[in-house]
Amino acid sequence: MNELEERVRREVGVRLFTVLAWVPERRALRRVHSSHPAEYPVGGEKTVEVAQGWLTRCIEGRQPYFGPDKAAVREIFADHELIESLGCGSIINVPVLGDDGEVLGVLNILDAEGGYDEKSVTAAQTIARDAAPALRAAASAAASAAGRGGAA
């Protein structure tokens, strides 16, 4: 996952980067990587029911979500105050798909307000296409750790 984060830094730019594995049976996302583990710890889970529009777009529609400014971030994310405290006000969420088109998870890429544009979204989508093996491995390790009662 560190190599994936470095690629995002080089090709898109990022202040906060997390990778979430989709857990369909719980309609939840489990964090498997975080550039800010104190604020967004690995193993943390979030349900996505509160952001139905986001769920419809990213998980069901398999399309990226682009929030170019703080207003867009506030509209979708309950943790917008924490996001803003880290200097972030622009977000790209890109689903990572398996070979058969199933959603494996999501790359969450955040930077300063106005830091991204449509070219950034396209670059993030390219990275997401290559991220499936790393996400599968991280999700498997997290699930194994959770099954043993350890922190993921």
Q: How far is residue 25's CA from residue 52's CA, in Å, rounded to a whole number?
A: 16
d(CA 65, CA 92) in angstroms, rounded, equals: 6
Strand-pair partners of 18: 34, 108
Average pLDDT score over the chain: 90
The pLDDT assigned to 139 comes to 82
Domains and CATH numbers, the chain: 2-143 (3.30.450.40)
Q: How far apart are CA 113 and CA 35, in angstroms?
A: 18
Amino acid symbol at 9:
R
pLDDT (0 to 100) of residue 27:
84
| 16-25 pLDDT, tens digit each | 999 999 998 8
How large a percentage of the chain has pLDDT more than 90?
71
Low-confidence ranges of the chain (pLDDT < 70): 48-52, 145-152
Task: Output the pTM of the full model.
Answer: 0.90
